[in-house]
Amino acid sequence: MTEEQLINSSKQGNKLAFAQLIDKYTGYLYQLVFRIINNEEESKDVLQDTFIVVWQKLSQYDAGKSKFTTWLYTIATRQAISSLRKRKHLIPVDDGVMSKYCEDAHYQLANKEVGGLILKATKNLSPLQKVVFVLRDVEELEVDEVRQITGLSAKQIKDNLYLARKLVRECLMKYGKG
């Protein structure tokens, strides 16, 4: 089935089709949530909450308004922000957890150290700075998609991204010298 068929079948209550959508996007969404949360167990909980919300709101998804991935990222990002706000502090990085969700072993080995440094560098960003940084610089989404996901204006995205990049750069330079 195509993605559109899976979505339409899921909207009609087909749990098997929805399970296929979950399988298709679990890895991508987990990586996004983990980059924001920095904790394996909490990221799994947020991902589970994300899919519950997706199931509950799937009938509201309109392909004419946004791509399905943008809609999913919006829900996952908001769930992650909500989780961060609940705990009001960031948990230290759990190195190596992200890599088990990446399929390419070469990619895992080449990027594990860099990914770990970026996660450490982002742990002190505000939740909004972290989300904008992850969506724009790590996930490489366009500003318009980040705007749709976060509800921020282009200026707010630019301002948060500027501060996030500055703090990440400073942190990476510190780790590079140490």
- The CATH number covering residue 147 comes to 1.10.1740.10
Range of the domain at 58: 3-177
Shortest CA distance to 72 belongs to which of 90, 60, 84?
60
Question: How many domains does the structure of the chain reveal?
Answer: 1
Give residue 4's pLDDT: 94
CA pair distance 100, 108, nearest whole angstrom? 8
Give residue 103's pLDDT: 42
Cα–Cα distances in angstroms (integers) from residue 112 to residues 94, 137, 173, in the given order: 12, 17, 18
- The token pair at 59 is 């009938």
Give residue 171's pLDDT: 80
Instruction: Report angle CA 115, 82, 16 to the nearest 5 degrees.
Output: 80
CA pair distance 29, 33, nearest whole angstrom? 6
The pTM of this model reads: 0.67
Q: Could you tell me the mean pLDDT of each successive run of 10 residues in the chain, 178 residues long?
A: 93 95 94 89 94 94 92 93 72 41 41 63 84 87 90 92 88 66
For 72, other C-beta atoms within 10 Å of its C-beta total 23
CA pair distance 167, 178, nearest whole angstrom? 17
